[in-house]
Amino acid sequence: MNLSPHFTLEEMIKSQSGDRAGIDNLPLPPHREALRALCLHVLEPIRECFGVVIVNSGYRGPELNRMVGGAASSQHCLGEAADIEIPGMANGDLARWIEAHLEYDQLILECYKPGIPSSGWVHVSYKSLKPNRKQELTATVVNGKMTYTPGIAK
Ligand SMILES: [Zn+2]
């Protein structure tokens, strides 16, 4: 089932951990519509510019989210967020491109190590029913704990 011209529901709900645990991870209709808005307004423009977007994690139902230790308030659980990468492109560069070109709610450069282009990933969310906050953060692990600082780190 296509959510937008180049993104399917299947790739937005896929989880290898979920598959292994036998979790079907199917979104309710409002969450499916939120995924569609995320695809249309964020993922499609990125794909149009770079030709490909890899979705590492999109929707997480409550069961899957608990299993992967996600925050209960995670926008992944609402279908509003995806963790993405582009092969061959530094995740820091991807985050800065999104910051410069797109409307989004929250943009987080996660676990990125400058100098190691493939390290980390980009978390991006989009709200279709409420105003988008346009908030940028960088997340790094400090003493075993995910720590957030404002802005996209250079
Ligand atoms: Zn995420």
**pLDDT of the residue at 89:** 95
How many A from CA of 11 to the centre of ligand 1?
15
How many A from CA of 82 to the centre of ligand 1?
6
For 85-110, what is the mean pLDDT?
A: 97
Which one, of 50, 16, 57, 18, lies nearest residue 35 by Cα? 57
How many A from CA of 1 to the centre of ligand 1?
23
Give the confidence band of 117 by pLDDT, cuts at 50, 70, 90: confident
pLDDT tops 90 at residue 44 = yes
How many A from CA of 115 to the centre of ligand 1?
22
How many A from CA of 84 to the centre of ligand 1?
8
Name the 3-class secondary structure at 141.
strand
pLDDT tops 90 at residue 154 = no
How many A from CA of 83 to the centre of ligand 1?
5
Task: Tell me which residue has tokens 């989880």.
Answer: 15
Give the confidence band of 53 by pLDDT, cuts at 50, 70, 90: very high
| Phi, psi (degrees; rounded to nearest 5) at 3 | -90, -30
How many A from CA of 81 to the centre of ligand 1?
6
Which one, of 130, 131, 108, lies nearest residue 121 by Cα? 108
**pLDDT of the residue at 71:** 87
Total-model pTM: 0.95
How many A from CA of 5 to the centre of ligand 1?
23
For 136-150, what is the mean pLDDT?
A: 95
How many A from CA of 14 to the centre of ligand 1?
14
